[in-house]
Structure formats: C-alpha cells, structure tokens
A = this chain, B = another copy of it.
Amino acid sequence: MSDEEIAVPDHADTSLDELGAQPLVRVRLDVSYDGTDFSGWALQPGRRTVQGVLRDALGTVLRVSPVTLTVAGRTDAGVHATGQVAHLDVSATAWGAVRERFVHRLAGVLPPDVRIWAATEVPAAFDARFGALWRRYVYRICDAEGGVDPLRRRQVLLWPRQLDEAAMAAAAATLVGLHDFVAFCRRREGASTIRTLEAFDVARAGDEVICTVQADAFCRSMVRSLVGALVAVGEGRRGIEWPAGLLGHDKRSDDVGVVPARGLTLVEVRYPPDAELGARAVLSRAKRS
C-alpha cells in the first residue's frame, strides 16, 4: 500500500548533488514489479525490497553510489505494480554516458520480477511523490469454484465464497468524495487521514471481481481495508450502507478486514503538465502537514 506519510524519509541517503558541484539531471522511471518475492518497496536491512534491487541495478549501470530514489507509492510487501513511478537525480556526466541504452542495460541487470519500462529526463520540479495528482490501484478477486487461473495466481486473490459485485459496486460508490478515512487506515501520529477518494469502481470479468480505486493519496493499508469492507458486503455479511457508516468513526474500525497483498496492483500515477509541476508539489506538501 501507498503511504505518503511514513516517517522514514525517501531522501535518507546522501544526495548526489552533495558530492560535487556537477549539474544534475532529474530522471523519471516507470517501473513494474511482481511483488510476491519482495518485502515491499522501501529499503529494509536484510530484506529484498524493490527499492534495494533498483538501487543496486541503477548503481551498476550509472556507476554511481548511493542512488537516491523518490517514489510515488511505497507499496507494502507482496503488492504489485504495473505503473509505479520514481525519480532520481544523476550527474549530467553519468547520465550522458548511458542515456542512449539506459533502459536496455538496466533490463540486463535487473531480476525478472522488476522492470524499468521507461527512463525520461524531466524538469527539476518533477517530484514522483509530492507531484502526483492521483494514484490508482486495482484489486482482483476470483470467486470461481475451481480456483484462480494458474497464470494469474500471483496477482489475484481467491475468495472462497461467491461475491455479489453489484452490491459491492453500490457500496463503493457511497465512499467516493472527501472524507476522513481513519476507520480504514493504520493511524500514524500527526498524519492526516483525510483523503479525496476520486473513484471507486467494482466490475466483474468472468470469475474475477475487479475493484479500481483512485485518490489523491492513500493512507497505509487503506485500499486493502476498503476492499475488505466491500467483500463483507459482497458476501452478504454486511449491508450496502455499512462501509459509508464507518466514515464517521474517529479511529480504525476493528470490524474492517484487511485483504491480503497478493490481489493489489498499483496501476497508474498521474502528474500534471510540466508547467504546473512546481505548484502541485508545494500544494501536496502543505496538505499532508
């Protein structure tokens, strides 16, 4: 799950610009990963993380170390991404030496469960984390009697009971808007749990129920809690009005289950046009404090 308020800063490493007076180039990376064998995005000592694997690969190809990555969504262990975005600053010299075949060379160094699809020079005002207009996640649940399609089993959760996707969709619609989502969040000291849920759609494709959720930002475990609430509705354990009733709570609800990471994928992060980048980052930082 994305968490834009986690205490450990993304900029914990020494920044390249502190090492010398070289001009820097900001590079946007578009990243996909199968989260199954990662302990999430964020660096953790002794654990295999997406950030750690990318940092090593970037260090090898760029021949600089350490590499500092700023990311749009700090996904939890087991969560996947097809549209993750990160940025890094690299000296113009190092970048100039590799830019032509950068994506191809990274592909040769990265393990098969993480890919950098694109690497693009962006203005210095681009910020993968604070510049994002919104994040979109998809959660996939299969309720087939025979189980999950074997070729999709790493990214789809098997649910042992039939789900009523129409009831889930109706409940999802009641959550859209600006609310305090504290009932669906792991609370953090001093961090706001007020978010604008811009879209929350539920649709069935064969045996798969696909929940798509878009917001300016998400609190920790928020998507998986929202989907957990919908599943209770889809099973018939709760009524359609139940999830919206939780919006009035002033703390995390013990009644809301958190569905497993396996079904969750960060599919898209949207940024404003270049001319508006700086203004957006200032606004995002202000809203979170």
Kindly state whether residue A9 has any CB partner on chain B within 8 Å. no
Q: Which of the 9-residue segments A104-112, A127-135, A166-174 touches chain B? A: A104-112
Kindly state whether residue A276 has any CB partner on chain B within 8 Å. no
Kindly state whether residue A151 has any CB partner on chain B within 8 Å. yes
Q: Is the interface of A mostly helix, strand, loop or mixed?
A: mixed
B34 contacts A104, C-beta separation under 8 Å: no
Question: How large, as a class, is the contact surface on chain A?
Answer: 20 to 34
Kindly state whether residue A244 has any CB partner on chain B within 8 Å. no
Closest to A104 in B: B145
B115 contacts A150, C-beta separation under 8 Å: yes
Instruction: Find chain B residues with CB under 8 A from A103 CB.
Output: 145-146
A residues 231-286 in Cβ contact with B at 8 Å: 265
Kindly state whether residue A74 has any CB partner on chain B within 8 Å. no
Closest to A117 in B: B146
B80 contacts A147, C-beta separation under 8 Å: no
Nearest Cβ in chain B — how far from A228, in angstroms? 22
- In the bound complex, CA of A265 to CA of B152 (Å): 13
Kindly state whether residue A149 has any CB partner on chain B within 8 Å. yes
- In the bound complex, CA of A116 to CA of B148 (Å): 10
Kindly state whether residue A126 has any CB partner on chain B within 8 Å. no
- In the bound complex, CA of A155 to CA of B150 (Å): 11
Instruction: Find chain B residues with CB under 8 A from A148 CB.
Output: 112, 115
Instruction: Find chain B residues with CB under 8 A from A146 CB.
Output: 103-104, 106-107, 115-118
- In the bound complex, CA of A112 to CA of B144 (Å): 13
- In the bound complex, CA of A113 to CA of B34 (Å): 17
Nearest Cβ in chain B — how far from A72, in angstroms? 17
Identify the 8 closest CB pairs spanning chains A and B, nearest first.
A34-B150, A107-B147, A117-B146, A103-B146, A113-B150, A103-B145, A104-B145, A115-B147
Interface residues of A (CB under 8 A from B): 32-34, 80, 82, 103-104, 106-107, 110, 112-118, 144-151, 153-155, 265
Q: A80-B151, A113-B153 are in contact. List 11 more A-B contacts (CB 8 A).
A: A32-B150, A32-B151, A34-B151, A107-B145, A110-B147, A112-B147, A115-B146, A115-B148, A116-B146, A117-B146, A151-B154
